[in-house]
Chains A and B, each alone.
Chain A
Amino acid sequence: MSETTNTAASPSDHIENQELPDSGYLLLAIETSCDETSVAVVRNGREVLSNIISSQIDTHRQFGGVVPEIASRKHVESMTLIIEEALREAQVELPDIDGIAVTQGPGLIGALLVGVVAAKSLAMALDVPLIGTHHIAGHIYANHLVGDILYPAIALVVSGGHTEIVLLESEGKFRMIGRTRDDAVGEAYDKVARALRFPYPGGPYVDRLAQEATEEVVLPRSWLEPDSYDFSFSGLKSAVLAEINRSRMKGETPEFSALARGFQQSVIDVVTGKAIKAAKEFGARQMLLCGGVAANKGLRTKLTELCAEVGLPLLIPPNKLCTDNAAMIAAAADMKWRRKQFSSLDLKAEAVMSLEEWSV
């Protein structure tokens, strides 16, 4: 970690330049874009001192999905408690905090608002800078918490709400080269899981069932146009549903595990295939896997194999840093912190937000 070491006087020495204490600087980050209330304290942008994640999953399970109004209510209930817990676990005090990072978007607007207002209140009350942060930049830079990133890099972002291939030409410069045209991978997993009668959220069940399966119902691969890095999973999801219906019409029990396997193989082939192709085309020196679905074993295994075949270094954060968490938000915000690209106190939460425009 050499980037924070102060060697010669920087040419960009700024009048506001705060002196860095010996221990470095501390960012407190807040993430509330969906159903997780998370607060982290991160030192020098890379050392996670605490990363508290309060999941509302037990609440939303009874509704069969995330209910935005209830998610927002829960965030208000736990916000200050989680901040307190993050500080306690990091063994730091409020006055030690040098800056506040917060997920500005994209996400559920009502949920984002709670985190944004709490972050602005903290920044105002402590009189420290505020950094509004892009949620997907957070997922990508979770990788910076586990290793050095070599540029250019290709990031494969797979989560409940996102399926994207992002090119990073240099640090903090994002170029979206592929995205889903309908369902996100995580969404497709949850819908298929429901058809296979798994409780919400069913993604991990499908993954496990696919791993255990001895047979596979081969399902179509949706490659779209030959030069496209976009995705589409709605056809695949429909194919699974059609297969289940056909079995039932014939009075048979659907082959759930073989279907789960077929679905998983189709998804994995397409997302890893496109990611590797993008890496080749853009001369990537590294592959980054991130987002909640990065916890999927089948996906991890396949991408690891493919990257090894072409000699491309691969980073995958541990599960806790793949699902929504605040440490990743601090990791992304750190790029702006080091460049003194701070947000105004009038920061606005955005349900829809461009990653490219958020570039440093």
Chain B
Amino acid sequence: MSTQDRTGNSESNPNVTILAFDTSTAAFAAAIVRDGVRLDATISFTERNHSVKLLSEIKELLGRNGLQGKDLDAIAVGQGPGSYTGVRIAVTAAKTLAWTWGKPLIGVSSLEALALGAWSELRENGTDVAELGERAWIVPLMDARRGQVYTSRYLVDRTGSWERADGDGIRLIEDWSKQLGHQAASADGKGSPSVWFVGEIGATQQTAIEQAQLETDVRLRTLACEMSAVAVGQLAGIRYRQGERDDVHGFVPNYTQLAEAEAKLLAVSRGE
């Protein structure tokens, strides 16, 4: 074994194979990603209860690619936010599989995966950053009911950079879309970015974005798209190569908010 083999860097370990999955949205999405490239993927919507098919789908996905647990380098999972129950299903499966197989666990933001998946889709469709300006904002949306969305914001540009601008949180879509419209219009420097709202764009989100459009000159665009497990695997692959690992036992979903009972208790203790 050469010294290079022991460093664990990309040169010595050319094939990084990652099993990735996410159940934070209405989709059950799973993929096998090798060195940042999609090897195979599956997505299904048949049951809102992702717990039913999850394991047989993963088994089938591995099987048809001739893979076993021991062939994997890591298990990647969307950590949320999203449906509480949904996120728990993928996180529990990922923790248990990683622990049982003795493989590294790598969590990624489900919102970031949704955004990256959309960005890939836009580029595949020939939507060029240059045509839209120097840079764009990718704003992933997941419906969180009562006019709220789980969301964040990513900056992309024609060099291919990918940068988080706002972290995962729960916001009112009405306020959020207006805020981003104003912010984009007043962005100084190289001119206004183009703004893309991506992911779960239902009637509520569409209406709010159209309202926000009336208040800004910057074009607010939408792309309805599904969760991309390939993106989960790609984001995890980056973390993997940087030597990052999550603690399997300590790993928990990112709910972005307290459970309702906890929030109430906290309010009482503050005398609210």
Contact = CB atoms under 8 A, between A and B. Distances in A.
Interface of A: 62-63, 67, 69-70, 72-73, 75-77, 79-81, 83-84, 94, 110, 113-114, 116-118, 120-126, 344-349
Contact of A76 (B55, B56, B99, B252): B252
Interface stretch (B8-16, B184-192, B206-214, B259-267): B259-267
Contact of B93 (A63, A94, A121, A348): A121
B265 A114 contact: no
Contacts of B4: none
A121 B92 contact: yes
Interface of B: 49, 51-56, 58-59, 69, 84-85, 88-89, 91-93, 95-97, 99-101, 248-250, 252-253, 255, 259-262, 265
Nearest to A69: B259
A9 B262 CA distance: 59
A117 B261 contact: no
Contacts of B85: 72, 110, 113
Q: Looking at chain A's contact residues, is the secondary structure mostly helix, strand, loop, or mixed?
A: helix
B260 A120 contact: no
A108 to B, nearest CB: 11
A348 B137 CA distance: 41
Contacts of A120: 51, 54-55, 93
Contacts of A125: 69, 96-97, 100-101
24 contacts: A63-B265, A67-B259, A69-B261, A70-B261, A72-B85, A73-B88, A73-B253, A73-B255, A76-B91, A76-B92, A76-B95, A77-B252, A83-B99, A114-B88, A117-B92, A118-B92, A118-B93, A121-B92, A121-B93, A121-B96, A124-B56, A124-B58, A346-B52, A347-B52
Contacts of A113: 51, 85, 88-89, 92
Contact of A79 (B84, B96, B260): B96
A62 B253 contact: no
B252 A73 contact: yes
A79 B95 contact: yes
Contacts of B59: 124, 345
B87 to A, nearest CB: 9
A75 to B, nearest CB: 8
B259 A118 contact: no
Given A72-B88, A73-B88, A83-B99, 8 more contacts: A63-B265, A69-B260, A70-B259, A79-B92, A113-B85, A121-B93, A125-B100, A345-B55
A19 B97 CA distance: 26
A69 B85 CA distance: 9
A56 B221 CA distance: 47
B108 to A, nearest CB: 17
B259 A73 contact: yes
Given A81-B249, A125-B101, A67 B55 contact: no
Contact of A72 (B58, B84, B93): B84
